[in-house]
Amino acid sequence: MIAALKKYVVVTAAHGQLDKTTAKVTFLDIDALEAKDQDARPLTPVARDDLPPTTAGMLITTEAFFRQSLGALGKGLKMFVFDAGAVDSCKKGRLSVPFAGETYTWETPIPGCPQR
């Protein structure tokens, strides 16, 4: 799994809407997502069919876990895979994802990276 996450960036997103009269949340389908590295260069999306079988299996298993354990939210989550390019989860850097009128950012290294 660590090897896969060094080669790919996986972003999980959900786009929910709250019905104010019923307090029910519905989730919209997300067709595409963009991710950028610390220099605002776009990362290249990777189609599921182009992933190695082990990586594809990891994503399928994670999605099933989300659907079964998180209910409606889990069903509304969608995973996107990008070639990591210059992003290394365990080195100093940044990832940004513009989505639904906002830009979400993450600083790297992420928690859990091995100490060097």
What confidence tens digit (pLDDT) does each residue in 39-72 have? 999 999 999 999 999 999 999 999 999 999 998 8
Is pLDDT above 60 for 103? yes
Looking at residues 10-38, what average pLDDT do you find?
93
Looking at residues 24-29, what average pLDDT do you find?
91
The type of residue at 52 is P
Question: Could you list the residue range(s) of the whole structural domain that residue 9 is in?
Answer: 2-34+43-86
- Would residue 109 count as lying in a domain? no
Q: For residue 60, what pLDDT is reported?
A: 94
- Single out the residue of 52, 51, 34 nearest to residue 43, CA to CA: 34
pLDDT-based confidence at 116, cuts 50/70/90? low
Looking at residues 16-24, what average pLDDT do you find?
91
- Would residue 105 count as lying in a domain? no
- Number of domains into which the chain is organized: 1
- Would residue 66 count as lying in a domain? yes
- Would residue 63 count as lying in a domain? yes
Q: For residue 31, what pLDDT is reported?
A: 92
The type of residue at 15 is H
- Would residue 104 count as lying in a domain? no
Structure tokens that stand for 75 in this block: 């069903």
- Would residue 18 count as lying in a domain? yes
Strand partners, 18: 25
Rounded-to-integer distance, Cα 80 and Cα 36, Å: 13
- Would residue 25 count as lying in a domain? yes
Check if the beta carbon of residue 105 is closer than 8 Å to that of residue 94.
Answer: yes
Is pLDDT above 70 for 115? no
Looking at residues 81-85, what average pLDDT do you find?
94
Looking at residues 75-102, what average pLDDT do you find?
92
